Amino acid sequence: MPAPAQAIRAPNRPWLRRFVDAWCRLAQYEEGGRIYEKLGLRPVFVFIAALFGESLPAAASTPYGTVPLRADEWLRTYIRTRYHELLNAIALGVYTPFLCWLIWQQRWGQAAYCAVLMLTHKLALLLERYKRGRYDELLRQAGIVARHMDFSQLWKPQEAVLPPVLTCSAARWYFKPKRFETERLYCALGVRCFQAFVLSIFRAAATEDTGPGSAERFIGGREDVLAFEQQTRIAEATHLVGMLLHVPFAIGAVIARDVWGGAYVAGMLGVNLACVVLQRWHRVRLDPVVRRIRATAR
């Protein structure tokens, strides 16, 4: 019988982290992810993961034999699922009052559309819980009981498989920083404040308490730089799609002359735009290093 996993290291965690700990705790029926596989959700999860250049561990019914030594990767993904689940939970919390507003206004078409968007976030949330259950079982099989990782190692960039649409010439031109894009410009737009907000969510989702300077050690070498640059492309594309998905709401608000609903949609568009700006700021800072790395690799 494997030893119980040690989920949290610090005994006196802030209230937000205690809330995240309680929210992300897997129920007994979720262990190993078998319940999601029995519900037939694994093919859906495989599709969603592929959109972000990820792959899932083997199904729970697959015989493993000797467990390969990939504990660091498993542990990193296990903890990261807390952050991604938290983001999708926040999205559901943001959409819920808007859905209620649309229903109250009897705008049934947009209400149905909003419900579909909420369903995608719900599926993404369940995907993260499924991944956490699967990796938890793999770690147990490997005899790993700790569920802690240094903050800089936790968010160490990992190479992802870019979808083909992000590798075409038009996409390469779009993602390349333009001349007018400077670090000073993005700082003037308040990107550092938004980065601090994102890092606060990172820390809330971590399984151990971290100091304020831990986030500066994410990128350690050439491979990390290139992997992080790829991650910014995937993240920016995701939020661009998110902005496009909100356009029908904006059109509906204009047609209905709905000031309050329009303001709500503008806020959701603004959050996605801030995420896009954050990714472009990252690439502006990384661009000189990326150019040198690729020049020396030729």
150 has pLDDT over 80: no
Average pLDDT over residues 10-32: 84
297 residue type, one letter: A
Q: Both 297 and 167 in a single domain?
A: yes
207 has pLDDT over 90: no
Q: Both 136 and 2 in a single domain?
A: yes
- Averaged confidence pLDDT in the chain: 87
Rounded to whole angstroms, how far apart are CA atoms 146 and 2?
12
Rounded to whole angstroms, how far apart are CA atoms 277 and 281?
6
Average pLDDT over residues 28-47: 94
- Among the candidates 148, 181, 201, a domain finishes at 148
Task: Estimate to the nearest angstrom the gap between the alpha carbon of 76 and the chain centroid.
Answer: 13
Q: What is the pLDDT of residue 210?
A: 60
213 has pLDDT over 70: no
Q: Both 134 and 175 in a single domain?
A: no
Q: Both 144 and 220 in a single domain?
A: no
Q: Both 282 and 239 in a single domain?
A: yes
Q: Both 96 and 234 in a single domain?
A: no
Q: Which two tokens stand for residue 103?
A: 């229903």
Domain span holding position 202:
150-154+163-298
Split into its structural domains, the chain has a count of: 2
Q: Both 144 and 168 in a single domain?
A: no
Q: Both 87 and 167 in a single domain?
A: no
Q: Rounded to a whole number, what is the largest CA-CA distance in the chain? A: 63
14 has pLDDT over 90: no
Q: Both 182 and 285 in a single domain?
A: yes
Q: Both 142 and 177 in a single domain?
A: no
Contacts of the segment 265-274: beta carbons below 8 A, 24+ positions apart:
265/98, 268/94, 268/98, 269/243, 272/239, 272/240, 272/242, 272/243, 272/246, 273/239, 273/243, 274/191, 274/194
Q: How many CA atoms lie within 13 A of 26 on its CB side?
A: 27
165 has pLDDT over 70: yes
Where residue 252 falls (left for φ over 0; alpha for ψ -120 to 50; beta otherwise) is: alpha
Cα Rg of the chain, angstroms: 21
208 has pLDDT over 80: no
Q: Both 70 and 205 in a single domain?
A: no
State pTM to two decimals: 0.86
Q: pLDDT by residue (tens digit) across 166-204? A: 889 999 999 999 999 999 999 999 999 999 999 888 888
Q: What is the pLDDT of residue 54?
A: 82
Q: Both 260 and 190 in a single domain?
A: yes
Better-scored residue on pLDDT, 73 or 43: 43
Torsion sign over Cα 82, 88, 89, 90: positive
